[in-house]
Amino acid sequence: MAGSRHRILIGTAASLGLILLWEAVSRSGAVSARFLPAPSVVVATLWTMIAERGLLYHAGVSTLRVWVAFLIAAAMAVPIGILMGSVRWIGAALEPVIDFIRYLPVPALVPLSIIWFGVGESTKIFLLWLGTFFQLVLLVADDVRRVPHEFHETAMTVGAPGWRRLTDVSLPAMLPTLVDNMRITLGWCWTYLIIAEIVAADSGLGFVIWQARRFFQTPEVMAGVITIGIIGLLTDQVIRAAHRRWFRYLVR
Amino acid sequence: MSYLEFRSVTKRYGPVEVVAPFDLEVAEGEFVVFLGPSGCGKTTLMRMVGGLEQPSSGRILLRGQPLGPPDRRRGMVFQSYSAFPWLTVAGNVAYGMRYRRDLTAAEKRARTAHFLRLVGLTDFAHQWPNRISGGMRQRVAIARTLAAGSEILLMDEPFGALDALRRERLQLELRRIQREEGRTVIFVTHDVEEAAFLADRVIVFTRRPARILAEVDVTARLGPESTLELRGSAEFFALRNELLALVRSTDEEEEATAP
Ligand SMILES: Nc1ncnc2c1ncn2[C@@H]1O[C@H](COP(=O)(O)OP(=O)(O)OP(=O)(O)O)[C@@H](O)[C@H]1O
Ligand SMILES: [Mg+2]
């Protein structure tokens, strides 16, 4: 594991170096603090925002929205994707429609979504679902198709009925890739969330950032952005760790 | 009535004729080896027995009955992806019985232990397939197929990826197990020596479309036992050379037909 410790060390050192450089540039006055406040200022702002402005509440609201929408999308994408990947005519029927919707840029659908759902929570959930479901379902279908045919044939020659092959072969065989794909899609969810919260919200990190922009509070904008970054990084690392734990059998 | 019977079986993929009218009878408990040039249709024939492909014409009969869709009477051991990586060694063996309703949970456990012992993997029962050698994974697959209660083991170059020593050990084990359990085996290989060592009967194929070039009754020539001493004998050597000459002739045929 010396290699991985080495990597962590290099990564930390490089990040620290970058932050120090940023601090130095801001302090030198080469760039106006209005555009580029020093990291120390941003961190201080972050702290006041947590203490006085309920930043954690907004972060919680955003996280909740992301997870609700993501779980709905995943709960639909996994079974539908497995069916699309396993039953040829279902795949053939759904793929063109899904492919079309997948290419629609989510921001372009914001007006339509507001017409349909108003400016409440359902609009945000809908937009996030829109951005993730159609991507994930195609990834799932592809992963199912990539399961080695030997696995299915092994199941058939021990007498597995067709539908049991979905649960006993396709699902476990694709699970590691599925978790990876979910991790990546969850990241995209945040992008769509911020768009949704900027357009129509009175809470959440997107709202906080947009408010700060209106008053030209660059440190607050940055503090908001950094909060999203931290949440993303933590989520990613937790899922990666879980992946290593759940799929220990992959390690040779 | 023979046990397994091919009756004028053919197979085409579009315009390509892969199996010419093919007839063969296999006795119960017999170890038949398919030997032939690459791409001649051996795998196709085997998959048809397993029910994974349908003959274009002709019929395959098992105990006089036409074959239906795949079931656990015809077990497959593949060259790669032979064990599920998400199940332990014991889990893979037990998987062979997952859909059997005629066994209680206790019986399934006992059978799992029995077949693990038979293939010498008791100590690896709780290991993941990715952490054991390729030869061990093949043994897992053999145990799973036996545990499923397959009467026929269909083995498509199962030892292809192994080094000579492991291969030899596995050959001995397979032969012993097949005798003890009285199962019928159809075994595909490119290795002449492996064919001579394992088989009761070797079927040598022509190039595509698959026809029988020669049938060699190994048991009649070498006796029913497969031992390492046998491997060094003059009779074995003569048989091996004979098979090699047959395989070579299919290759010359290729050169002769080339423009
Ligand atoms: N699904 C398929 N569609 C089209 N052609 C196929 C298909 N499966 C096999 N073939 C062709 O049929 C021929 C016989 O294939 P098969 O796999 O049975 O040969 P084989 O004797 O097992 O060869 P090898 O020793 O290389 O494994 C090959 O020429 C192959 O290209
Ligand atoms: Mg083959």
pLDDT digits 0-9 by tens, A144-193 = 999 999 999 999 999 998 889 999 999 999 999 999 999 999 998 888 89
Picking from B75, B99, B145, the nearest residue to A160 by CB comes out as B99
The whole-angstrom separation of Cα A23 and Cα B136 is 59
Least confident of A226-235, B45-54, B241-250: B241-250
CA distance B5 to B178: 20
Residue A76's Cβ-count burial label (10 Å; 0-12, 13-18, 19+) is: middle
Which residues contact residue A145 at a Cβ distance below 8 angstroms, ignoring those fewer than 6 apart? A85
CB contact under 8 A, A158 and B131: no
Question: Chain B residues within 8 A (CB-CB) of chain A?
Answer: 50-52, 69-72, 74-76, 78, 80-82, 84-86, 95-100, 128-131, 141, 144-145, 148, 150, 154
Which residue has its alpha carbon closest to ligand 1 atom 17?
B43
Buried b / exposed e along B123-142 (16+ C-beta atoms within 10 A): ebeebbbeebebbbbbbbbb
Which atom of ligand 1 has the smallest separation from the CA of B53?
1
The one-character DSSP state at A53 is S
Choose between A28 and A138: higher pLDDT. Answer: A138
Q: What whole-number percentage of chain B has pLDDT above 70? A: 97
Does A114 contact chain B (CB < 8 Å)? no
Of A157, A173, A248, the CB nearest to B74: A157
User: Closest ligand 1 atom, CA of B11?
Assistant: 12
The CATH code of the domain at B1-67+186-259 is: 3.40.50.300
Contact state of B70 with A156 under an 8 Å Cβ cutoff? yes
SS (H, E, C) chain B: CCCEEEEEEEEEECCEEEEEEEEEEECCCCEEEEECCCCCCHHHHHHHHHCCCCCCEEEEEECCEECCCCCCCEEEECCCCCCCCCCCHHHHHHHCCCCCCCCCHHHHHHHHHHHHHHCCCHHHCCCCHHHCCHHHHHHHHHHHHHHHCCCEEEEECCCCCCCHHHHHHHHHHHHHHHHHHCCEEEEEECCHHHHHHHCCEEEEECCCCECEEEEEEHHHHHCCCCCHHHHCCHHHHHHHHHHHHHHHHHHHHHHHHCC
As a whole number, mean pLDDT of residues A8-26 equals 91
Distance CA B92, CA B86 (A): 9
CA distance B52 to B39: 18
Q: What is the pLDDT of residue A227?
A: 93
The Cα angle at residue A89 between residues A83 and A94, in degrees rounded to 5:
70
Q: Binning pLDDT at 50, 70 and 90, where does residue B252 land?
A: low
Residues A121, A126, A129, CA angle at the centre, nearest 5°? 125
pLDDT score at A215: 86
Residue A118 C-alpha from the chain's centroid:
24
Q: Which residue has the higher pLDDT, B226 or A195?
A: A195
B-chain residues near A246 (CB < 8 A): none
What is the structure's pLDDT at B152?
A: 93
Average pLDDT of span A11-35:
88
- Other beta carbons within 10 Å of A183: 16
**Chain A: residue whose CA lies nearest to B133:** A252
Does B70 contact A157 at a Cβ distance shorter than 8 Å? Answer: yes
Q: B257 CA to chain A: closest CA distance, Å?
A: 35
pLDDT at A186: 93
Residue B209: asked if its preceding bond is cis (omega within 30°), the reply is yes
| Ligand 1 probe mutation, B19, B22, B43, most atoms within 8 A of CB | B43
B39 lines ligand 1 (CB under 6 A): yes
The band of B253, judged by pLDDT with boundaries at 50, 70 and 90, is low
Q: Looking at the predicted structure, is the pLDDT value of residue A200 above 80?
A: no
pLDDT in tens, A96-107: 999 999 888 888
B43 CA → ligand 1 middle, Å: 7
Mean model confidence pLDDT for chain A: 91
pLDDT of residue A76: 96
pLDDT tens digits, residue range B110-166? 999 999 988 889 999 999 999 998 888 989 999 999 899 899 999 998 888 778 887
Residue B259 pLDDT grade (very low, low, confident, very high; cuts 50, 70, 90): very low
What average pLDDT does the structure give for chain B? 88
**Residues A154, B84: Cα–Cα separation, whole Å:** 9
Q: How confident is the model at residue A85 (pLDDT cuts 50, 70, 90)?
A: very high
CA of B215 relative to ligand 1 center, distance in Å: 22
Domain definitions of chain B by residue range: 1-67+186-259
pLDDT (0 to 100) of residue B20:
87
Query: Pairing state of beta strands B65-66 and B57-62?
Result: antiparallel
**pLDDT-above-90 percentage for chain A:** 62
- Ligand 1: nearest atom to the Cα of B34: 21
Percentage of residues in chain A having pLDDT higher than 70: 99
Structural domain boundaries of chain A?
53-250
pLDDT for B40 equals 86
In the predicted structure, residue B223 carries a pLDDT above the cut 80: no
First to last CA, chain A: 15
Q: What share of chain B has pLDDT > 90, as a percent?
A: 49
The pLDDT assigned to B258 comes to 46
Question: pLDDT tens for residues B132-144?
Answer: 988 889 899 999 9
Do the Cβ atoms of B84 and A151 come within 8 Å? yes
CA distance A167 to B128: 20
Mutate to test the pocket of ligand 1, among B13, B80, B212 (most ligand atoms within 8 A of CB): B13
Rounded distance between C-alpha atoms, residue B159 and residue B173, angstroms: 12
Scan for tokens 């085409």, then name that residue.
B12
How far is CA A162 from each of CA A156, B69, B71, rounded to the nearest angstrom?
A: 8, 11, 12
Q: Per residue in B195-218, pLDDT tens?
A: 999 999 999 998 888 788 889 888
A18 touches chain B (CB under 8 A): no
pLDDT at residue A119, as a whole number: 82
Predicted confidence at residue B47, as pLDDT, reads 93
Task: Report whether residue B11 contacts ligand 1, using a CB cutoff of 6 Å.
Answer: no
Q: List B68's β-bridge partners, or say none.
A: none
Tell me the CATH number of domain A53-250, given options 3.30.70.2170, 1.10.3720.10, 1.10.10.60, 3.30.160.20: 1.10.3720.10
Quick one: which of B28, B26, B73, B34 has its CA closest to B50?
A: B73
Please tell me the distance from the alpha carbon of residue B186 to that of residue A48, in angstroms, as a whole number.
76
Averaged pLDDT, B9-16: 90
B85–A250 CB contact, under 8 Å = yes
Atom of ligand 1 nearest to the CA of B45: 18
Q: Are A162 and B100 in contact (CB under 8 A)?
A: no
State the DSSP H helix or E strand holding residue A8, giving kind and residue range, or none if neither. Answer: helix A2-28
Q: Torsions phi, psi of A76, nearest 5?
A: -90, -40
Cα B195 to Cα A123, B34, B175, B187: the distances in Å are 68, 8, 12, 9
- The predicted complex's ipTM stands at 0.86
B185 lines ligand 1 (CB under 6 A): no
Among B218, B186, B198, B205, which Cα is nearest to B36's?
Answer: B205
Phi-psi region of A14 (alpha: psi -120 to 50; beta: other; left: phi over 0): alpha
User: CB of B145 closer than 6 A to ligand 1?
Assistant: no
**Ligand 1 neighbourhood includes B38 CB (under 6 angstroms):** yes
B18 lines ligand 1 (CB under 6 A): yes
Amino acid of residue A150:
E
User: Residue B79: how many CB atoms within 10 A of its CB?
Assistant: 18
First to last CA, chain B: 45
Question: CA nearest A153 in B: which residue?
Answer: B52
Residues with Cβ < 8 Å from B147, sequence gap 6 or more? B93, B94, B96, B97, B111, B112, B115
Is the per-residue pLDDT at A2 higher than 70? no
Asked if A109 contacts A130 with a C-beta cutoff of 8 angstroms, the reply is: yes
User: Is B51 close to A164, i.e. CB distance below 8 A?
Assistant: no
